[in-house]
Amino acid sequence: MFQRILFFCFLLSLVFLTFSCRSRHTEVSNKPKHDSVAVVPTEKIALDALHKDLQELNSNPCFKGADLGYLIIDFTKGKPIMLFESNSRKGMIPASTQKILTTAAALEIFGSPVYKEVTITNLNSVNWRANRMLQKIGEYKYKKRDFYYGSKAVMEFWQAKGIDMKGLYICDGSGKSRNNIISPKQLTDILFKITTSTIFPVFYNSLPLAGISGTMHKWLKGTVGEGRLRAKTGSLAGVRSYTGYVRTLQGKKLIFAIIVNNYTCPTKSLKQRLEKTMLKMVEL
């Protein structure tokens, strides 16, 4: 009798195990082999968002009839890689972003004696200081202290550094003249070249910091971009330009240049729209 009971229990165990195994097999086999929702890297999402934002600039009323040029490069790994561009080789009126040519050249030529002057000039965009530096560079090279020889010396300085100067022309040190012509690519090329120089830390710290200092103290205030973007600003009637460096939330290092000529919308509206683009760069 006892043996029959054991045999019956054994049969019940086999039935239970068979049913259990089949259930688990069915549960697993019913799952899809791949997730139905693809995982998109954060970097790609941010790149797409910046791309879309830049494309929308052309359809924005503020840029209707205006000349717009920009270039954004990634130099995180030491080599410049273009991310986005539009009319980047077109010569445009740069306004005060031109000061980077004068101040960076002065830093390399004269060194520590001009550190303070360069910082004041770039931070607050002081025209007369930039013009004085330009003339000083002309005197250093040609023994003639004036705008012509100063401009000539500065252009030759950057040409000797390997910058493609085709179409570039300056006639002062401040960018106040409308006769000055520079392309977004030339601005970014110069900013990248400066990163390889010993004067880079001084130059970098002389640029206005978004949300904190100089002519950028109101830009990106209270956003994730505050303290992450340094840029030289430029303004004339119908002209706005910005060029500088960005430390993104993902740890990337960017250089950018944006120039707008001949715009007719309210300046406040234009600046608000460009501020949105700068925020997208920081979020990359």
Residue 179 contacts residue 189 (beta carbons within 8 Å): no
pTM reported for the whole predicted model: 0.84
Cα 229 off chain centre by: 8
Same domain, 25 and 77: no
Q: Are residues 161 and 25 in the same domain?
A: no
pLDDT in tens, 161-195: 999 999 999 999 999 999 999 999 999 999 999 99
Assess whether 155 and 19 both reside in one domain.
no
Q: Is residue 242 part of a domain?
A: yes
Cα gap 230→223, rounded to integer Å = 15
Cα–Cα distance, 145 to 136 (Å, whole number): 6
138 Cβ contact list (under 8 Å, min separation 6): 144, 145, 146, 147, 148, 149, 150, 151, 152, 153
Range of the domain at 94: 43-282
Confidence of residue 42 (pLDDT cuts 50, 70, 90): confident
Question: 263, 257 in Cβ contact below 8 A?
Answer: no
Residue 120 confidence class, pLDDT cut points 50, 70, 90: very high
**Residues 6+ positions from 43 with CB-CB distance below 8 Å:** 250, 284
Higher pLDDT, residue 17 or 64:
64
The domain that holds 53 is classified in CATH as: 3.40.710.10
Exposed/middle/buried for residue 234 (C-beta within 10 Å: 0-12, 13-18, 19+): buried
User: Do residues 119 and 219 both lie within one domain?
Assistant: yes
How many structural domains is the chain composed of?
Answer: 2
pLDDT single digits (tens) 67-79: 999 999 999 999 9
Say whether both 116 and 5 belong to one domain. no
Say whether both 21 and 92 belong to one domain: no
